[in-house]
Structure 1
Amino acid sequence: SKAEGMADKVAGWLFYAALAVGILAFILWMPSGLATAFERMVTVFIIACPHALGLAIPLVIARSTSIGATNGLLIRNRQALETAKRAKYMLMDKTGTLTEGKFTVATTLHFADQSQEEILATMAALESHSEHPLATGIKAAAIEQKLTVPAAENVQVMKGVGLSGTVDGIHYEIVNARYLQDHQLTYDKTQADQWAAAGNSLAFLLKGQHVLGMVAEGDQLKSSSKAFVAELKQQGITPV
């Protein structure tokens, strides 16, 4: 890191300074005898040697990295420890960081002939192959409502979007709102925006190009999140 490099450079300068002072002490104490002069020179070397400076910063950084790891903080670049004090913004993941990460289904809406229960059961079938927090909430809701969840086949992850798979011989997809907008698919955007504005995460069930239903899931803020964000702002750091 930059601090370690600076410490090594200063330690190098101090070494030559200590060497010069030690030799000077030897010369000045020569009238008192060779043994005394040698003793004074060695004393200067021991006291003035910059080994402590060369070791201090690496040890502090190593200890800081260890403490961070103990608290679940991975520091890939040690220079981050030096630049952190100048940070103005902090990027944070919401789920599991500011929130509990335990989603529960707040409401289900159906747009086609299938009932809300059928929508939820079909989504639970696909989500049974996923460990995503949103998937856990949908599966828990299906169990709570004692729904019969069919088996899903050929389930595949749609990166950054959701899941796709076959249930009872019909191909379905679970996607997010961005996917619907990108593909210009029709859905109740007004209702979706209202649920999203309330802090819910949305998942949509598709069959082909038709949006069959929508599930809104909510998550609870951690009790410490409000105080944590307030402390960041007090220190001049804007959470994003």
Structure 2
Amino acid sequence: MSLLENRTAVVTGGAQGIGLAIARLYVEHGAKVVIGDLDEAAAKAAATELGNGAVGVRCDVVDAEEVQGLVQTAVDSFGSLDVFVNNAGITRDATMRTMSEEDFDLVIQVHLKGTWNGTRLAAARMREQKSGAIVNISSLSGKVGMVGQTNYSAAKAGIVGMTKAAAKEMAHHGVRVNAIQPGLIRSAMTEAMPQKAWDQKMAEIPMGRPGEPDEVASVALFYGSDLSSYMTGTVAEVTGGRFM
């Protein structure tokens, strides 16, 4: 079953990790996909790998003009914008005592302002066609707070509040806005953790294993498709039961 046939999706931060897994699954379900990433070469390489006419472009989500360009690329290339996934993100972990103001500001800018740019500019286009789904990637860190992540936890919690506010604003325009909070997902970044930190996190997961990027992607597919047609302003925890 092709859940996204004849639809166009944009995925920010889509050149690797969870973003690429989402883009790949969307293509498998028939979507035309535009990958936006700060690394233009990686975005284009990912698009080539995905096939099905996928397009890769450079996009700094903090820059509203570049995000608008991403929206326009989708419309110009494929004629519509049906799903927009705000996935781009960074980390600059440090305790409050040692975190620089620059690193606090940067994480807030990329995650919170970046998601705001994507949400508002995608919604502006979607309301014209009276349909669309926006999927915002938050984090379990935004629910419980993590040591060394006052910047990241604040930003990811903010994304949940923003998602709910935007969902209320856009519901009568036919646009749905939902969020996903992944927990410990296997990636190059998480597997580079010190063993002690990895073991501590694993001990908190009732299912006893990390998640895979594809397991986040499947929820993003659910939110981007008509399977979730009566859901907006919700938050799905993809955590293996960690911190229920």
Bin of the TM-score, shorter chain as denominator length: under 0.3
When normalised by structure 2's length, the TM-score is 0.25
> Which has the greater radius of gyration?
1
Which structure: greater strand fraction?
1
